[in-house]
Amino acid sequence: MMSSSTRRNGGDTSGADLQHGDVDLHYAHTIDMDATTLYACLWLRSVVFNEEQQCTEPDLDGRELEPTTILVWASVDGRCVGTLRILSNAESIVIGRVAVDTAYRGLHIGRRMVNLALEIAHADGRDITLHAQSYLENWYRDFGFVVIGPHFEEAGIDHVPMMLRRSES
What is the pTM for the complete model shown?
0.86
The pLDDT tens digits of the residues spanning 19-29 come to 545 899 999 99
Asked whether the predicted pLDDT for residue 3 surpasses 90, the reply is no
The 3-state DSSP class for residue 46 equals helix
CATH at 75: 3.40.630.30
Q: Is position 95 within any domain? A: yes
Q: C-alpha 18: how far from its chain's center?
A: 20
Tell me the residue length of the chain.
Answer: 169
Query: Is residue 14 included in any domain, yes or no?
Result: no
* Alpha-carbon gap, residue 10 to 39, rounded angstroms: 24
C-alpha closest to that of 101 among 127, 72, 81: 81
Q: How far apart are CA 98 and CA 11, in angstroms?
A: 23
Q: Is residue 169 part of a domain?
A: no
Would you say residue 14 has pLDDT above 70? no
pLDDT at residue 149, rounded to an integer? 97
pLDDT tens digits, 57-107: 888 999 999 999 999 999 999 999 999 999 999 999 999 999 999 999 999
Q: What is the pLDDT of residues 32-59, one digit of tens each?
A: 999 999 999 999 999 999 999 998 888 8
Structurally, how many domains does the chain consist of? 1
**Domain presence at residue 143:** no
**Predicted confidence (pLDDT) at residue 166 exceeds the cutoff of 70:** yes
**9 pLDDT more than 60:** no
Residue 10's pLDDT is what?
Answer: 39
Within-domain flag for 135:
no
Structural domain includes residue 81: yes
In angstroms, rounded to a whole number, what is the distance separating the alpha carbons of residues 89 and 66?
Answer: 11
Predicted local confidence at residue 130, as pLDDT: 97
DSSP, collapsed to helix, strand or coil, labels residue 164 as strand
Write out the H or E segment, with its range, that includes residue 109: helix 109-122
Q: Is residue 4 part of a domain?
A: no
**In-domain check, residue 152:** no
Domain that residue 62 falls in: 24-126
What does the alpha-carbon distance between residue 92 and residue 108 come to, in Å, rounded to a whole number? 26
Q: What pLDDT is stored for residue 58 in this prediction?
A: 85
98-154, pLDDT tens digit by residue? 999 999 999 999 999 999 999 999 888 899 999 999 999 999 999 999 999 999 999
